Chain A
Amino acid sequence: MKRVVITGAGTINALGHSVPATLEAMREGRCGIGPLAFRDVDRLSIRIGGQVRDYDPEAEFNRQQISLYDRFTQFTLLAAREAIAQSGLCFQDQLAARSGVILGTAGGGVQTWDENYRAVYEEGKNRVHPFVVPKLMNNAACSHVSMAYNLQGPSFTVATACSSSNHAMGQAFNMIRCGMADVMVTGGSESMLCFGGVKAWEGLRVMSKDACRPFSLGRNGMVQGEGAGIFVFEDYDHARARGAEILAEVAGFAMTSDAADIVMPSQQGAARAIAGAIRDARVDPSDVGYINAHGTGTAANDKTECAAVAEVFGPHADTVMMSSTKSMHGHLIGGTGAVELLACIMALRDGVIAPTIGYLEADPECALDVVPNVAREAHVDVVLSNAFAFGGLNAVLALKRVH
């Protein structure tokens, strides 16, 4: 089996428009969540979110591109540009044929659905723009990345709600590991912060009106974010042969299904995925220094996740650090695991553990070291990134430092 490493990373999210800006915000424990700004927000009862700010699509894309790129595709392309530039790769000939794109998104072009439903239902129009379908389809972002960079190998989009990008990255990892591809561009993107997107979430009554406070007593729900995280996964030998800078090694991946409930999480499903990723990475639970939690800030997720970690780690659960950066950038739904992987890379490379901000008081049902409010310096060699989706679909990645 091949070893797989990360040689490029890119992002745009509520904390920043690049990886350095995002990591700086995470180190400082800055909150990117604020009042939502879009049409009809006054008709919502939930009015906060982690929106990408100071973003002008026309500064990045031309008119024809904007007519084809939903906001989730725009975010993907900007993050891909940063990641691929960092990797230094140029995809031609044989490498192009052996490189692909696997991305996660839960909703795809939600803003395009929203705008065009509004046009035909509310405004009574009988005609929509000719590119509505290619703009809103879930695989639009994946296809545009493949076109922009000439990636001709295995390419598709995964939609598993909040686990989408972890599932996507898991597939990319295994594809390189088994020799089907040399390089995979992978990660995920989401942009549901529009009237229809937030209105749908309001209905479930799990959203917070004030803040995302994972693992804290007094937490009252999740807060949505938007953006993208994109990575270049590469065969280790390929990366070494060309002298590429290696950010981290992708060491293991596991996925499980709760087979239980469409919204309530299950401890055993989560625990099996966490234990599976550790086993797949051929490390011991005591080697794991940091877990980037799913940590949504809902009552149900956070206590179930803590119980699952306690079950897998046993006595070592007291020494492992676990934080939820959703407290800063919000829950990016299908893109969330990708942006959160940045915190994992920061832990391995920079020795900085991103905090769980907004933390008020310890909850006895979440009695782990959740790195409250302030980032911490620590040396860690192995980290995990958890994602547990509605529908009970769990996906956990394990990353290692490369010596």
Chain B
Amino acid sequence: MSDTVEDTVVRIIADQAMLEPSDIRMEQTLDDLGIDSLGLVESIFAIEETFDIQVPFNANDPAASDFDISSVASIVAAVRQLIADQKV
């Protein structure tokens, strides 16, 4: 994969928000980007498929999982952490 993790996560989120990756800013929240709960679940699926990782996330209680979805930056950081943790 030649993309950095950040570029790839931003592309996944941009696809979901129907925006250009250049329009996404790291401090934005999913709410800012118009991504609802269904869009979030779809983005997490895309992240799992792209990076071949398991994302611990239960839509009933997003705050209870370690996966921090509070901003684009926090999602990028969480994905980096999961890649590091789940590397075999």
Q: Which of A241-273 contact B (CB under 8 A)?
A: 262-264
Q: Contacts A203-B45, A205-B44 hold; do A264 and B37 have CB atoms under 8 A apart?
A: yes
Interface centre among A205, A206, A220, A221 (most CB of B within 10 A): A205
Q: Is the CB of B61 within 8 A of A299?
A: yes
The binding surface of chain A is classed by DSSP as: loop
How many residues on A have C-beta within 8 angstroms of the other chain's C-beta atoms? Answer: 15
Determine the chain A residues whose CB is within 8 A of the CB of B84 once the complex forms.
Answer: none
CA of A220 to CA of B57, assembled, Å: 11
CA of A206 to CA of B38, assembled, Å: 11
B18 within 8 A of A: no
A298 within 8 A of B: yes
| Interface bits B53-64 vs A (CB < 8 Å: 1, else 0) | 010011111001
- New contact pairs (5) apart from A206-B58, A221-B60, CB-CB < 8 Å: A203-B45, A204-B59, A205-B59, A220-B64, A299-B61
CA of A76 to CA of B61, assembled, Å: 35
A219 within 8 A of B: yes
B41 within 8 A of A: yes
Q: Chain B residues in contact with chain A, CB under 8 A? A: 37-38, 41, 44-45, 54, 57-61, 64
CA of A208 to CA of B37, assembled, Å: 17
Of the candidates A204, A220, A262, A264, the one whose C-beta lies within 8 Å of that of B61 is A220
| Interface bits A203-230 vs B (CB < 8 Å: 1, else 0) | 1111010000000000111000000000
Measured CB to CB, the closest approach of chain A to B59, in angstroms, equals 4
Specify the chain A residue showing the minimal Cβ separation from B54: A45
Specify the chain A residue showing the minimal Cβ separation from B57: A205
Measured CB to CB, the closest approach of chain B to A112, in angstroms, equals 27
Q: Is the CB of A206 within 8 A of B45?
A: no
21 contacts between A and B (CB under 8 A): A45-B54, A203-B41, A203-B45, A205-B41, A205-B44, A205-B57, A205-B58, A205-B59, A206-B60, A208-B60, A219-B60, A220-B60, A220-B64, A221-B58, A221-B59, A262-B38, A263-B38, A264-B37, A299-B59, A299-B60, A300-B60
Measured CB to CB, the closest approach of chain B to A391, in angstroms, equals 13
Q: Which 10 A-B pairs have the closest CB atoms?
A: A299-B60, A205-B59, A221-B60, A220-B60, A206-B59, A205-B41, A298-B60, A220-B61, A220-B58, A205-B57
Measured CB to CB, the closest approach of chain B to A207, in angstroms, equals 8
| Interface bits A166-201 vs B (CB < 8 Å: 1, else 0) | 000000000000000000000000000000000000
Measured CB to CB, the closest approach of chain B to A245, in angstroms, equals 42
Measured CB to CB, the closest approach of chain A to B30, in angstroms, equals 15
Measured CB to CB, the closest approach of chain B to A278, in angstroms, equals 30
Determine the chain B residues whose CB is within 8 A of the CB of A205 once the complex forms.
Answer: 41, 44, 57-59
Measured CB to CB, the closest approach of chain B to A282, in angstroms, equals 38
Determine the chain B residues whose CB is within 8 A of the CB of A299 once the complex forms.
Answer: 59-61
Measured CB to CB, the closest approach of chain B to A227, in angstroms, equals 24
Measured CB to CB, the closest approach of chain B to A263, in angstroms, equals 6
CA of A105 to CA of B11, assembled, Å: 40
Determine the chain B residues whose CB is within 8 A of the CB of A264 once the complex forms.
Answer: 37-38
Specify the chain B residue showing the minimal Cβ separation from A262: B38
Specify the chain B residue showing the minimal Cβ separation from A264: B37
Q: Which of A295-311 contact B (CB under 8 A)?
A: 298-300
Determine the chain B residues whose CB is within 8 A of the CB of A298 once the complex forms.
Answer: 59-60
Measured CB to CB, the closest approach of chain B to A243, in angstroms, equals 50
Specify the chain A residue showing the minimal Cβ separation from B38: A263
Measured CB to CB, the closest approach of chain A to B42, in angstroms, equals 10
CA of A38 to CA of B25, assembled, Å: 46
Determine the chain A residues whose CB is within 8 A of the CB of B41 once the complex forms.
Answer: 203-205
Specify the chain A residue showing the minimal Cβ separation from B40: A205
Measured CB to CB, the closest approach of chain B to A364, in angstroms, equals 15
Measured CB to CB, the closest approach of chain B to A96, in angstroms, equals 47
CA of A203 to CA of B57, assembled, Å: 11
Measured CB to CB, the closest approach of chain A to B85, in angstroms, equals 17
Measured CB to CB, the closest approach of chain A to B45, in angstroms, equals 7
CA of A374 to CA of B57, assembled, Å: 32
Measured CB to CB, the closest approach of chain B to A116, in angstroms, equals 26
CA of A262 to CA of B38, assembled, Å: 9
Determine the chain A residues whose CB is within 8 A of the CB of B64 once the complex forms.
Answer: 220
Specify the chain A residue showing the minimal Cβ separation from B44: A205
Determine the chain B residues whose CB is within 8 A of the CB of A221 once the complex forms.
Answer: 58-60
Measured CB to CB, the closest approach of chain B to A161, in angstroms, equals 16
